[in-house]
Structure 1
Amino acid sequence: MILYNVSLIIEDSSHDDLLTWLKAKLQKTNHQVSFLKMLDSPHEGSTYCIQLNAENPEMLEAFQTELLADLQQHIALQHRDKAFIFDSKMEYLTF
């Protein structure tokens, strides 16, 4: 199982517009995701995380194609220099 995390840092001036767009986009996805707000972010503005538990690499790739590409494009066109995203993949380990 792979935990895929997309972190999104939004400046206050773009916050409401981008968050409205993102919530609408997440409601339309066929993937089961968690949407979280970081409470103690060290960054200015607001920080959010979108998380997906992917059972296989194909599921992860489909999600990246469906959401991440659109999010990157939307930010580049509408919120340039006002929002920053980065993603990470993590593997669950047992102990």
Structure 2
Amino acid sequence: MILYNVTVNVEDAIHDNWIKWMKEEHIPDVMKTGMFSENKILKLLSKLPEEEGTTYAVQYFCQSLEDLEKYQQEFAPKLQQDHLKKFGNKVIAFRTILEVV
């Protein structure tokens, strides 16, 4: 099983709107692609005093690297563009791919 992890830092000013949009729109849209079997949103509890905003790990589980590659090629560009249009530079994200062992 493959874990596609998106770590996201969200500015406090838009936090409530972001989390609502993620739960009600973005994550359901990602799941509708059929490439993932499960998802989770985790909130980072440990943070350094100088860190601003709130950090989340948004996790999507799929069966294979092929499924993830299909998602990244066919679906991710539009979904990521929608996110960028809605929140701009108030959200910073990076992605990692892990294998469940």
TM-score normalised by the chain length of structure 2: 0.72
Cross-structure match for 2:87: 79
For structure 2, list consecutive stretches of 5 or more residues without a partner in the other structure. none
For each residue in 1:40-86, what CA deviation from the matched residue of structure 2 results, as whole angstroms up to 9, or x when unmatched?
A: 1343111111112322123223544546741x223321222210111
Q: CA RMSD in A?
A: 2.2
- 1:75/1:83 contact within 8 Å kept: no
Q: Give percent identity, aligned residues only.
A: 32
Whose helix fraction is larger, Structure 1's or Structure 2's?
2
Cross-structure match for 1:46: 54
Cross-structure match for 1:18: 18
CA distance 1:67–1:15, change in 2 (3 Å): farther
SS at match of 1:79: helix
Size of the alignment, in residue pairs? 92
Which of 1-10 and 27-36 deviates more? 27-36
SS at match of 2:52: coil
SS at match of 2:17: helix
CA distance in 2, matches of 1:76, 1:38: 22
For structure 1, list consecutive stretches of 5 or more residues without a partner in the other structure. none
